[in-house]
């Protein structure tokens, strides 16, 4: 959530940033500024009238002690009128605050100055490419055919149990899943992240804190009777561990990681590009989250990007790094790097990770602050990244490593799987 003081003092910058994100309601900025001015006027009037009421209360006591009963009674009558006006001003102030909150949460985060204009994925900026495409055997198969051939993932059985987008992993397919989870968690903890096991459902306050609500409620599974949401990513519960927390400056950076299943309705996603593991309603992911000093957050973003890339390199995958354009970024991010792996069988890039800096957007919603040596509190910066999401990593491993002998497991995973080939 943007800070109202910044909006008021930097109107043109805010409008320019919203334009870069292709925000369609720039008129909200002026409405926010107007509502904030009304709120401040109500607050000033309320403060002044409250001060008068407090002063009058002292004067009434003094007049009574001095035997000036008539003057005291007259002042009491005026105080009663003031109390009614204070109640009215308090109601108006509360209404203005509610309106201001309703307006301001509709604004997305502002993009970093390095973010380019654009509205489609094709306009994202390629900042790095690693490796070369895998050399494929004749008659190479896409992963949805490989999983059927080796009986390791059953999409139809998942449809029977739950619906499309809920696959069942079997035998070596299930062991590959578990191997990747342990591989990612072990590397994260070696990198200094603290492993956390968190709830897979969250309340509205948690969804609001990280920006999923009210923006993405249609993409989240909602348990209506309990008013809880199935998490779309571990980012939500892990970051919310620090909601309403004031950290000490020396406690930062806070580095946490967690494995969770992720649940996404993915409404409106159809077609060949989402076939098989390319897009699911339930999938596994290891997430890394950092809470850092504002002066260090963009250095940390680069470090997190490099860390995710190191995982892809260990798995022997050909990948590229994109800096997302303004129109392709999430509602909450100030800057995002996407990592995409090359699927040789599908002849297309598959997104496997997003690493984002949210600056103070989440921490303002979370009331997540830190206190420096001066004793002054300020908002921290939050970052998170997929490290990594499993489905498309599995798809790329299966497709890029198919041989006549079977699917060769990347060397880095063999000690986790206990086998070298899926055959």
Q: From the annotation, which residues make up the binding site?
A: 233, 264-266, 287, 351-354, 384
Known binding residues for L-serine? 233, 264, 287, 384
DSSP H helical segments within 265-339, as ranges?
297-314
Instruction: Say which residues have a Cβ less than 8 Å from residue 79's Cβ, sequence separation at least 6.
Output: 53, 56, 57, 60
Q: How far are the Cα atoms of 164, 217, 231, 269 from residue 265, in angstroms, in the given order?
A: 11, 10, 11, 9
368 CB burial (10 A radius; 0-12, 13-18, 19+): buried
Cis check: omega of the bond before 178, within 30 degrees of 0: no
Q: What is the DSSP letter of 124?
A: S
Strands lying side by side in the sheet with 222-223: 201-202, 228-230, 222-223
d(CA 292, CA 23): 28
C-beta separation of 326 from 20 below 8 A: yes
Residue listed under structure tokens 């989402």: 274
- Contact between 99 and 287 (Cβ < 8 Å): no
Taking the C-alpha atoms of residue 311 and residue 89, their distance in angstroms, rounded to an integer, is: 58
CB contact set of 404 (below 8 Å; sequence gap of 6+) = 137
391 burial (CB, 10 Å; 0-12 / 13-18 / 19+) is buried
How is residue 73 written in tokens?
Answer: 């009674």
**195 Cβ neighbours under 8 A, 6+ residues apart:** 185, 188, 189, 256, 257, 258
Beta bridge partners of 359: 382
Distance of CA 12 to the CA centre of its chain: 26
CA 204 to chain centre: 14
Known binding residues for ATP are: 264-266, 351-354
Look up residue 74 and give its two tokens.
């007259």
Place of tokens 């990681």: 257
> Where is 387: in which H helix or E strand?
strand 381-389
């Amino acid at each position: 959530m943007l800070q109202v003081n910044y909006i008021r003092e930097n109107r043109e910058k805010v409008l320019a940033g919203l334009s870069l994100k292709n925000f369609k309601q720039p008129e909200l900025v002026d409405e926010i500024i107007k509502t904030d001015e009304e709120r401040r006027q109500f607050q000033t009037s309320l403060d002044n009238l409250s001060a008068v009421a407090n002063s009058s209360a002292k004067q009434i006591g003094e007049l009574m002690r001095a035997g000036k009963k008539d003057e005291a009674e007259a002042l009491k009558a005026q105080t009663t009128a003031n109390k009614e006006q204070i109640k009215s001003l308090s109601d108006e102030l509360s209404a203005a605050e509610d309106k201001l909150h309703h307006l301001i949460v509709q604004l997305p985060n502002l993009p970093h100055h390095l973010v380019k204009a654009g509205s489609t994925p094709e306009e994202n900026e390629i900042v790095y490419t690693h490796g070369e495409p895998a050399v494929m055997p004749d008659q190479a198969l896409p992963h949805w055919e490989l999983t059927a051939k080796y009986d390791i993932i059953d999409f139809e059985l998942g449809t029977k149990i739950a619906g499309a987008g809920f696959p069942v992993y079997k035998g070596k397919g299930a062991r590959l899943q578990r191997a990747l989870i342990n591989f990612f968690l072990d590397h994260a903890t070696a990198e200094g992240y603290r492993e956390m096991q968190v709830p897979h459902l969250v309340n509205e306050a948690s969804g609001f804190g990280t920006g999923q609500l009210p923006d993405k409620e249609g993409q989240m599974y909602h348990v209506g009777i309990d008013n809880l949401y199935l998490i779309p990513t571990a980012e939500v519960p892990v970051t919310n561990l620090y909601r309403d927390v004031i950290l000490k400056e020396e406690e930062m950076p806070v580095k946490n990681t967690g494995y969770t299943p992720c649940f996404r309705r993915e409404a409106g996603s159809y077609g060949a590009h989402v076939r098989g593991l390319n897009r699911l309603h339930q999938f596994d992911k290891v997430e890394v989250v950092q809470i850092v000093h504002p002066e260090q957050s963009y250095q940390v973003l680069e470090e997190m990007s490099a860390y995710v890339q190191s995982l892809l390199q260990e798995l022997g995958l050909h990948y590229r790094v994109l800096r997302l354009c303004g129109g392709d970024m999430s509602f909450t991010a100030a800057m995002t790097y996407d990592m995409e792996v090359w699927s040789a069988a599908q002849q297309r890039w598959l997104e496997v990770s997003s690493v984002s800096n949210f600056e103070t957007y989440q921490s303002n919603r979370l009331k997540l602050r830190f206190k420096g040596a001066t004793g002054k509190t300020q908002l921290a910066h939050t970052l998170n990244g997929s490290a990594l999401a499993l489905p498309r990593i599995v798809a790329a491993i299966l497709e890029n490593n198919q041989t006549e002998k079977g699917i060769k497991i990347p060397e880095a995973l063999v000690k986790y799987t206990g086998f070298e080939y899926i055959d």
